């Protein structure tokens, strides 16, 4: 295969949700396909991308009204965009929180202030109506804070990514995804500005603007001064399959989110269900960082790439720590005990870039002209796939004034720039990775994988994992 050596206007590194959406919306807004290059270190869809999965939540439930409003626009895009609409399932969402967790109170207040329907499920009568409507959810959940909203549901992320890439290429977009031609190993610098990237095949690809949308793999060597702004963190996911009879029971159930513990999805057409854990995250080693002036400081964890595990035929391919499986089965026991003994399969540790304050980083590098970042999805980036590229283009100013179809008012754009700014104080010099999980523990993955058969406390209030 031959690759063009022409200069581009914009190179986007990373073909996950942020990178692909940005590339697609550049072409949708009339940028010539020859001006844009999308690169990734893996064949598409990348096995390492957080968005390469079977189900992801699409929700409006946020403690910050800023994100509630963005999610409202996003759900409209899921409903209306013919590229993404087939991969979205609006089944509603059940929010659950164990006793003492007041997050749901704040969220309900935000949703109701914006006219979004919510139903409290606190009394015994209301709980009874819940189990009648959703017979699979027959756990006790005593004294839990529960509410339901019909707005939102889930999307099939892998299929949605594939549809987005097909549309990008239909419009003439160029994509290179492999470990040699697509893997970026360095920036081409001229003074204080970037002029392109170097790839692992020793090629130089020239562009006046380079955007790193590399998720958990956003590395300080390519973005000097990143420091502790993004913490690569792993989360365990697992699948199980329902029998035809069970599938009938679970028909039309909502997405269930047990706040800061885990979440699971209704079955797809084949009876496949998935759960992701949130009660703990996993780290893997650490790396030093260097700022634009050469100062070295302590770094953050390094993601344990699933592609590397597969390439080396590592014994941990397709496995999760025992403590993660225990957490999954505890959640099932509390909410749907009939599933607690299900055989799980297709397990993995999925990596995402978590920021200490939970906001994204979408900004120009402060010291290097033409260098940009759109990363730090923090576990809630994928749902914005159909539209986030528009916001990245406008926030970063990737197009010349007058060339972009401005869909955002100036106040919204200013709030985006403030909340997604590089170097905001809440993200700097945060060396404790648990801060990025709002106090939940981050366990060393290597240690956790080797720890099996140890008696542990049941995950719950006060449990230490």
pLDDT digits over 14-49, tens only? 999 999 999 999 999 999 999 999 999 999 999 999
Of the options 1.20.58.220, 3.30.830.10, 3.30.9.10, 3.65.10.10, the CATH number for the domain spanning 231-354+433-465: 3.30.9.10
| CATH 3.30.479.30 at 1-55+156-230+357-431, yes or no | no
Buried b (16+ CB within 10 A) or exposed e, 277-315: bbbbbbbbeeeebbeeeeeeeebbbbbbbbeebeeeeee
Question: Sign of the C-alpha dihedral, residues 381, 387, 393, 395?
Answer: negative
- Give the residue extent of every domain in the chain: 1-55+156-230+357-431, 231-354+433-465
Average pLDDT in the chain: 90
Rg from Cα positions in the chain: 22
Highest mean pLDDT among 282-296, 306-320, 420-434: 420-434
pLDDT bucket at 291, cuts 50 / 70 / 90:
low
Angle, helices 410-419/388-396, rounded to nearest 10 degrees: 90
Q: How confident is the model at residue 308 (pLDDT cuts 50, 70, 90)?
A: confident
Is the pLDDT confidence value at 405 over 60?
A: no
Chain CA centroid to CA 425, Å: 23
The continuous run of DSSP H or E covering 390 comes out as: helix 388-396
Q: Is the pLDDT of residue 383 over 50?
A: yes
Q: What pLDDT is attached to residue 131?
A: 83
Alpha-carbon distances of 81 from 60, 78, 295, 406, 440, rounded to whole Å: 18, 6, 46, 18, 37
Structure letter (DSSP) for residue 384: G
- Distance (Å, rounded) from C-alpha 271 to C-alpha 81? 27
**Bridge partner list, 223:** none
Q: Say how far apart CA 196 and CA 187 lie, in whole Å.
A: 6
Tell me the whole-structure pTM to 2 decimals: 0.93
pLDDT at 289 over 60: no
User: Above pLDDT 70, what percent of the chain?
Assistant: 91
Find the mean pLDDT for residues 296-320: 80
Burial of 31-70, coded b for 16+ CB within 10 Å and e otherwise, reads beeebbbbbbbbebbbebbbbbbbbbbbbbbbeeeebbbb
H-type alpha helices, 250-373: 306-311, 322-335
| 36 or 455, greater pLDDT | 36
* Range picked from 1-5, 431-435, 457-461 for highest mean pLDDT: 431-435
Q: What is the spatial distance between Cα 119 and Cα 257, in angstroms, rounded to a whole number?
A: 15
Give every CB contact of residue 306 below 8 A, 6+ residues apart in sequence. 47, 48, 317, 348, 349
Nearest to 346 by CA among 425, 288, 274, 435: 274
- 110-168 pLDDT, tens digit per residue, is 999 999 999 999 776 777 788 889 999 999 887 889 999 999 999 999 999 999 999 99
pLDDT reported for residue 465? 24
Tokens coding 414: 């200013």
What is the largest distance, in Å, between two alpha-carbon atoms of the chain? 69
Whether pLDDT at 454 is above 50 = no
The total of other beta-carbon atoms located within 10 Å of residue 454's CB is: 8
Average pLDDT over residues 337-345: 96
pLDDT over 60 (residue 419): yes
pLDDT of residue 126: 75
Q: How far apart are CA 397 and CA 247, in angstroms?
A: 48
Give the model's confidence band at 459: pLDDT under 50 very low, under 70 low, under 90 confident, else very high.
very low
What pLDDT shows up at residue 4? 52
Q: Is residue 234 over pLDDT 60?
A: yes
Query: Rounded distance, CA 36 to CA 309, Å?
Result: 31
pLDDT at position 456 over 60? no
**Integer angstrom CA distances of residue 396 from 151, 399, 428:** 30, 9, 21
Report d(CA 160, CA 154) in Å as an integer.
11
Which residue matches tokens 């999760």? 320
Residue 292 has pLDDT above 60, yes or no: no
Residue 325 has φ and ψ, to the nearest 5°, of -65, -40
């Amino acid at each position: 295969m031959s690759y063009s050596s022409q200069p581009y206007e914009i190179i986007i590194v990373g073909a996950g949700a942020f990178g692909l959406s940005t590339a697609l919306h550049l072409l949708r807004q009339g940028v010539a396909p020859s001006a844009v290059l999308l690169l990734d270190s893996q064949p598409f869809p990348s096995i390492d991308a957080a968005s390469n999965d079977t189900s992801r939540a699409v929700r409006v439930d946020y403690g910050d009204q800023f994100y509630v409003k963005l999610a409202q626009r996003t759900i409209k895009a899921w409903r209306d965009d013919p590229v993404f609409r087939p991969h979205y399932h609006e089944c509603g969402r059940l929010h659950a929180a164990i006793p003492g967790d007041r997050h749901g109170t704040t969220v309900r207040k935000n949703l109701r202030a914006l006219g979004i329907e919510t139903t409290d499920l606190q009394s015994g009568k209301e709980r009874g109506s819940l189990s009648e409507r959703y017979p699979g959810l027959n756990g006790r959940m005593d004294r839990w804070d529960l509410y339901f909203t019909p707005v939102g549901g889930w999307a099939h992320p892998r299929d949605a990514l594939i549809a987005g890439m097909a549309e990008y290429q239909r419009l003439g977009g160029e994509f290179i995804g492999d470990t040699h031609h697509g893997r970026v190993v360095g920036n081409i610098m001229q003074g204080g500005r970037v002029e392109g990237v170097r790839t692992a095949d020793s090629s130089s690809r020239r562009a006046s603007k380079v955007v790193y949308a590399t998720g958990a793999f956003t590395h300080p060597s390519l973005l000097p001064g990143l420091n502790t702004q993004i913490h690569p963190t792993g989360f365990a996911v697992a699948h199980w399959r329902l029998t035809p009879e069970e599938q009938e029971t679970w028909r039309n159930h909502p997405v269930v989110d047990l706040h800061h513990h885990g979440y699971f999805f209704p079955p797809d057409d084949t009876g496949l269900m998935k759960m992701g854990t949130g009660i703990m995250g996993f780290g893997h080693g650490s790396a030093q960082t260097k700022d634009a002036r050469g100062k070295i400081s302590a770094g953050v964890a390094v993601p344990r790439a699933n592609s590397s595990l597969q390439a080396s035929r590592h014994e941990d391919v397709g496995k999760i720590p025992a403590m993660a499986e225990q957490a999954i089965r505890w959640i099932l026991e509390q909410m749907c005990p009939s599933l607690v003994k299900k055989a799980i399969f297709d397990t993995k540790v999925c990596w995402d870039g978590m920021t200490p304050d939970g906001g994204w980083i979408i900004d120009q590098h402060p010291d290097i002209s033409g260098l940009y970042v759109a990363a730090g999805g923090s576990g809630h980036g994928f749902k914005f796939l159909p539209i986030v590229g528009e916001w990245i283009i406008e926030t970063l100013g990737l197009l010349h004034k007058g060339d972009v179809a401005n869909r955002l008012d100036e106040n919204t754009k200013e709030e985006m720039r403030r909340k997604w700014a590089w170097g905001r104080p809440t993200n700097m010099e945060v060396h404790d990775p648990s801060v990025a999980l709002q106090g939940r523990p981050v366990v060393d993955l290597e240690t956790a994988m080797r720890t099996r058969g140890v008696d542990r406390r049941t995950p719950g209030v006060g449990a230490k994992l």
